[in-house]
Amino acid sequence: MGEQRTANVSRRTFLKHTAIVGGALVAGGLAYRQVHNHLGRNFQPAGAKAYLDSIQPSPKPEMLPNILIILVDDLGYGDLDSPALDTPNLERMASQGVCLTSFYATASVCTPSRAGLLTGRYPVRSLMTTPLLSTRDAMNLVMDVLGRYSYGVTGIPQDEVLLSEVLLRRGYRTGLVGKWHLGAKPGHLPNDRGFESFYGALWSNDDQPYALYRDREIAVEAPADQDVLTLNFTRAAQEFMQSHKDEPFFLYLAHAMPHIPIHASGDFRGQSVAGLYGDAVQELDWSVGQILDTLDRLGLAGKTLTIFSSDNGPWWQGNPGYARGRKLLTFEGGFRVPFIATWRGVIPPGTNTSEMSMNFDLFPTCLQLAGVPLPQDRIIDGKDIMPVLTRKSASPHDTLLFYDTRKLVALRHLHWKYYRRYTTDNAAFWPLRQGPFLFDLHTDPNESYSLIESTPELAAELAALLAASDVKMSTNLRGWL
């Protein structure tokens, strides 16, 4: 009896000590992460303020071109050419402008890609490396415990300079219609970051509660009817253009579709042979037609740079252009996205180019058009691609980098794509790492045949280039100069 009591006491003592030690380790780990997060953020808001304060309104606002960016969510590179989809308005847009066939998002997932587009920088620099979630989403706790938010940042940092902020100070009327996904706390809202008007959602459409905002107030209570999202966003965009037809404007139309859950309005549901996904894409095509028609009706097609693209490759459905990979993967299917640009009288109609570029190139391109110099206190990774769009020069890039959250996984150098050893798209072995791989995108755009063994010298050179890029980024992550 005494031996059993002693054993029970010993067991309780062991469990108590284990709990104490475990609690201490957890507390210590959390404390270390808080210190790491605080020291690693390296915020420098003074530089952003000084730069934005230096921008003067254009002395000739009538000479400023309008800038209209239509960004859809999770559309595949191959969806525009799919025989299962009917997209006459996108075909019309392509016939009126230029298609870039080697255009990439800065990430293969929503938030980072949008951060790259609006800042002109790789998303790791803005610490936007994973999708942000609603503050009421239980996954937020999991993300926080796992440390998935870079340095604990859950909104686009205020020391980042956004395209909307620059153009607003230059004299543009600025509007966002659709999906924001760069923060929902004061200081990180669209109206805090250069958008005079906002109508749309703060999160992805699979995040709850899904409400629609007009500026800072809820306009449509959750759950918003997603069947009419594309319709309503299109109408809001048309109203914005109508209201500012006599002023230079920057309109960022960020559609929610065809991200899951997929929706389409009654006029389009059941109209596609590609199911509900096809219905949603064909309604997006209708939306593009409405935007183009509005520009024509208002007489603005000759003074508006209009761009159509996607934030990343397709997820569960959609055509990645018969390329390898999808959303969340670093292969071509996750990063390569459709891109069409039109500007009547400026961009030659009906042209294609395989010159490579990334969505962070839109920031310096738009600043050049607005006559605004780039910030000098930070690295801007993007380059002005207006000469590429007008077929006057080759790509300004020799090398582009491809990240999975904070991890540099691959690079494209000229027509070569090199991947370090990493997890891949093989579902049966997804926890295991494979590679490294080397692909020649000229002869093998689908990344089917690795040339690691047959061209070891080139593979070694690109491995060294990737490693050097990794070190350079890690030693100056935020890119301050």
Residue 195's nearest CA partner among 169, 221, 220, 219 is 169
Please indicate whether residue 188 is annotated as part of the active site.
no
pLDDT tens profile 134-156: 877 777 777 776 677 878 888 99
**Residue 42 counted as domain residue:** no
Q: How confident is the model at residue 25 (pLDDT cuts 50, 70, 90)?
A: very low
Q: Are residues 394 and 321 in the same domain?
A: yes
Mean pLDDT of 19-45: 58
Are the C-beta atoms of residues 470 and 404 closer than 8 Å to each other?
Answer: no
For 221-267, what is each residue's pLDDT tens digit? 999 999 999 999 999 999 999 999 999 999 999 999 999 999 999 99
What is the arithmetic mean of pLDDT over 357-361? 98
The whole domain housing 80 covers: 66-398
The mean pLDDT value for 215-224 works out to 97
- Of 439, 384, 437, nearest to 409 by C-alpha is 437
Q: Are residues 299 and 419 in the same domain?
A: no
What is the pLDDT, as a whole number, of residue 81?
Answer: 93
CA angle 101, 443, 76 (to 5 degrees): 35
Q: Is the pLDDT of residue 10 over 70?
A: no
- In angstroms, the CA 261 to CA 277 distance is 10
Same domain, 84 and 132: yes
**pTM (whole model) above 0.75:** yes
Task: Give the angle 333-338-341 at the CA atoms, nearest 5°.
Answer: 160
Q: Is residue 126 part of a domain?
A: yes
Distance (Å, whole) CA 17 – CA 5: 18
Q: Model confidence over 416-431: pLDDT tens digits?
A: 999 999 988 887 776 7
Residues 108 and 241 in one domain: yes
Domain final position from 398, 433, 454: 398
170 shares its domain with 94? yes
Instruction: Specify if 176 maps to a domain.
Output: yes
Smallest CA-to-CA distance from 171 within 58, 319, 338 is with: 58
Q: Catalytic pick from 181, 244, 259, 397? A: 181
Q: 99, 110, 244, 259: which is the annotated catalytic residue?
A: 110
Residue 112 CA to residue 404 CA, distance in Å, equals 10
Task: Quote the CA–CA distance of 422 and 451 in Å, as a whole number.
Answer: 17
**Of 336-340, 387-391, 430-434, where does mean pLDDT reach its minimum?**
430-434
Q: Which CATH number goes with the domain that contains 236?
A: 3.40.720.10
Residue 13 resides in a domain:
no
366 is catalytic: no
**Is 164 a domain residue?**
yes
Residues 341 and 447 in one domain: no
Residue 226 lies in a domain: yes
Task: Clarify whether residues 387 and 430 are in a common domain.
Answer: no
Residue 96 shares a structural domain with residue 235: yes
**Whether 392 and 413 share a structural domain:** no
Domain boundary among 372, 398, 424: 398
What's the pLDDT tens digit per position in 93-104? 999 999 999 999
- The two counts, helices (H) then strands (E), for the chain are 13, 18
**Range of weakest confidence among 2-16, 258-272, 446-460:** 2-16
Assigned token pair, 42: 């390296």
The CA-atom distances, in angstroms, between 322 and each of 355, 359, 400 are 19, 21, 21
244 with 373, same domain: the answer is yes
Half-sphere exposure of 164 (CA within 13 A, CB side): 24
Do residues 239 and 284 share a domain?
A: yes
Strand order in the sheet with 437-440: 399-404, 407-413, 416-419, 437-440
Q: How far, in Å, CA of 306 to CA of 298, rounded?
A: 14
**Domain termination site, one of 398, 432, 453:** 398
Per the structure, how many domains does the chain have? 2
- Same structural domain, 340 and 252: yes
CA distances from 71 to 20, 119, 240, 297, 468 (A): 51, 15, 16, 22, 33
Looking at residue 293, what is its pLDDT?
Answer: 98
Please give the mean pLDDT across all residues of the chain. 92
Residue 467: CATH number of its domain: 3.30.1120.10
pLDDT tens-digit map of 273-309: 999 999 999 999 999 999 999 999 999 999 999 999 9
